[in-house]
Amino acid sequence: MSQFPKNRPEIIDLAQKVLNGFTSHPDTFPNQPLDLEAYRSNIQKNYIVYDRVATLRAALEEAIQEAEDSTSLIGDQTRTGVRYAENLDLTEQQLALIGWGNRATPAPQAVPGQTRNLEILSEARRDL
């Protein structure tokens, strides 16, 4: 037994087949429950709407990429400006004029803790 399709391409494909079958064989399918012209119009409208969706999706993806590229460029330029200001050896108040502060003083690394629960899984022997 056939199963009704779940995705758009399969639904539209079946709709075209139903439309063609009903249109081509009115003797086999008398008293059709559909207004075939309205049905055809709905199928055509679906193609038009999905074409618009594809166009808009492409434009959106292009705009997103453009925005990401622009943000990346601004980030690079800002980084250059901040590095320039840091190299001038300014006070924290002067750096604050551009929304920046002094570089953080590096904190020393903590001494690692003691290793516990070691278990030797194998031992390689070397003949000396």
Q: Give a yes or no: residue 16 inside a domain.
A: yes
Percentage of the chain lying above the pLDDT 90 cut: 73
On whether the pTM is more than 0.75, the answer is no
Residue 85: how many CB atoms within 10 A of its CB? 15
Residue 128 — very low, low, confident or very high, per pLDDT cuts 50/70/90? low
Domain total of the chain: 1
First to last CA, the chain: 76
Q: Please indicate whether residue 108 or residue 103 has the higher confidence score (pLDDT).
A: 108
Q: Give a yes or no: residue 42 inside a domain.
A: yes
Q: Please indicate whether residue 30 or residue 115 has the higher confidence score (pLDDT).
A: 30
Q: Give a yes or no: residue 122 inside a domain.
A: no
pLDDT at 97 over 90: yes
Q: Look up residue 104 and give its two tokens.
A: 């953080």
pLDDT score recorded for residue 102: 73
Domain extent for 50: 8-96
Q: Give a yes or no: residue 110 inside a domain.
A: no
Q: Give a yes or no: residue 113 inside a domain.
A: no
Q: Give the residue-averaged pLDDT of 94-112.
A: 84
Q: Give a yes or no: residue 103 inside a domain.
A: no
Q: Tell me: the pLDDT tens digits for 12-58?
A: 999 999 999 999 999 999 999 999 999 999 999 999 999 999 999 99
pLDDT score recorded for residue 61: 98
3-class secondary structure, 51: helix
Rounded CA-CA distance 35/44 in Å is 14
